[in-house]
Amino acid sequence: MLSDSELKVVVLGLGYIGLPTAAVIARSGARVLGIDVSETVVETVNSGRVHIEEVDLDGLVSGVVARGTLRAATTIEPADVFVIAVPTPFGEDHAPNIGYVLQAATTIAAVLKAGDTIILESTSPVGTTEEVRDLLAKLRPDLRVPGRTGEAADVAIAYCPERVLPGRILVELIDNDRVIGGITPRCARKALAFYRRFVRGACVTTTARAAEMTKLTENAFRDVNIAFANELSLVADTMGVDIWEVIRLANRHPRVNILQPGPGVGGHCIAVDPWFLVHADPQNTPLIRTARMVNDGKTDHVIAAAAALIEARPGVPFACLGLAFKANIDDFRESPALKVAQALAERFGERMRVVEPYAPTLPPVLATTGARLIDIDTAIEQCPIMIVLVDHDMFRSVPLEERRDKAVLDTRGIWPDQPRSVAAGMPLRLAG
Ligand code: SAJ
């Protein structure tokens, strides 16, 4: 086996997963080359900086770049291990698009040699790793690919999904258990030896197909469970009951663990991946499909509740607190908070203020609506109406005396002491 400093690794895609992964592998001593289509990303990384906000990532990247174990480029070079971490979006009809994965495989084919290992980490529909194998077989007929003939293969191909939580990526990259699915058991063992170099969690081997479905299952599980909480929040509204209290009380049961309602589900994973399962087997996935619709429907419900609150107080400014898809991060992808803000800006642009400590300027969709980005202190001074869309710590810590007189729509349940609750699928708290 190659020593850490002899091992050459190429990571394709330097996004939210690829860059932290490349940096963590580089820290273990391997020589890592990160490939990205964006010149700007490549230049940023090579200068030891980062283009995404993630706890401790800047220090790690500047360290490994300075030590020379991580560099970036737009063109590929030969290596021992290739890690694919590119996006897998879906199209209009929710059909998964694995075009970037196949493009990455094509790029790898140009420099692939006997003895190399290819690992796909991108969330992918079941069967994608086999498609990668088939493509490589076509592009490199001189190399024997795994799982096609009885004989030993020249290269190993495996699927190992990333499972890290934004905001905790560097910790979870090391500590989480990994599921490693080989096209053949031999491929799985080869990939396992690679992950053992930098992962502290348990590494469990299986088939590529099982590992692909495991990843989709994890995110569908979370989506279905958040949908349950969101549905309950609407029922509690009808009943005039505080949903946050009900969930707290129900969760005292030893076998009940309900998640938190909110303004909908965002991010690039949980709002997307369940569709890969629905698309693969539409007949047998009514629950997963319905959960997606319940979570998207919750966003519409929040928009209607917020609009009603704003209309009830004509002329006064209101503050939307948060745009990120969840607390304490700067990621606005598929953010329900941004969707709510956008819908409200279309109707009440001039009256709208936005507080988002993680945005230096308003995102383009809000830029020309008349809405203004302000800080939390100004919002407390100027806005009698507050729509809480994200549970950033900064908002959570605003004490009651600073918001006692506000009309509040709290979609995240961060201010349980806010006086005079008027429910709306979440405690809508009107003062005065
Ligand atoms: N949310 C709620 N209520 C909750 C929990 C979350 O409304 O009780 C919302 C969040 O506000 C956010 C969305 O759901 O809008 C998703 O947030 P999240 O923290 O549940 O998950 P992500 O998208 O940041 O990361 C998920 C994780 N998957 C699981 O927990 C099963 C992570 O481990 C995966 O690596 C990641 O997806 C991924 O890349 O697939």
Amino acid at 336: P
What are the residues whose beta carbons fall under 8 Å from the beta carbon of 85, sequence distance 6 or more? 11, 12, 13, 15, 17, 18, 21, 121, 122, 162
Rg, the chain, Cα only? 24
Rounded to whole angstroms, the Cα distance separating 418 from 222 reads 29
Q: In degrees rounded to 5, what are phi and psi of residue 176?
A: -70, 150
Name which residue sits closest to atom 32 of ligand 1, judged by CA. Answer: 165
Residues 6+ apart with CB under 8 A from 129: 120, 157, 158, 159, 181, 183, 208, 209, 211, 212
Question: Active-site residue 203, yes or no?
Answer: no
Q: Evaluate whether 92 touches 58 at the Cβ level (below 8 Å).
A: no
Which tokens hold the place of 41? Answer: 């990303």
Domain over 8-201 is classified CATH 3.20.20.70: no
Q: What is the mean pLDDT of each successive set of 10 residues along the chain, which is 432 residues long?
A: 89 97 97 98 98 93 98 98 96 91 98 98 98 98 90 94 93 97 97 97 98 98 98 94 96 98 95 96 98 97 96 96 94 95 97 97 95 98 97 97 95 89 43 35
Mutate to test the pocket of ligand 1, among 270, 328, 339 (most ligand atoms within 8 A of CB): 270
Ligand 1 geometric centre to CA of 270 (Å): 6
* Centre of ligand 1 from the C-alpha of residue 27, in Å: 27
pLDDT of residue 423: 39
Amino acid found at 131: E
Domain spans of the chain?
Answer: 8-201, 223-427
pLDDT score for 425? 41
What's the pLDDT at 420?
A: 54
DSSP element (H, E) containing 238: helix 208-239
353 contact partners, CB below 8 Å, separation of at least 6: 317, 318, 319, 320, 371, 372, 373, 374, 378, 379, 382, 383
**How many angstroms is it from 215 CA to the middle of ligand 1?**
13
Interval between CA 197 and ligand 1 midpoint (Å): 27
Q: Supply the residue whose CA is at minimum distance from atom 40 of ligand 1.
A: 269
* Mutation pick for ligand 1 pocket among 165, 224, 259 (CB with most ligand atoms within 8 Å): 165
Q: Are 410 and 389 in contact (CB under 8 A)?
A: no
pLDDT at 276: 96
The number of residues making up the chain comes to 432
Secondary structure string (H, E, C) spanning 173-207: HHHCCEEEEECCHHHHHHHHHHHCCCCCCCEEEEE
Predicted pLDDT at 428? 47
- Please tell me the residue having the least CA distance from ligand 1 atom 4: 260
> Which conformational region is residue 407 in: left (phi greater than 0), alpha (psi within -120 to 50 degrees), or beta?
beta
Give pLDDT, residue 432. Answer: 33
Concerning whether 269 is annotated as a catalytic residue, the answer is yes
CATH number of 223-427: 3.40.50.720
Say yes or no: do domains 8-201 and 223-427 share a fold. Answer: yes
Which amino acid is residue 96, in one-letter code? P
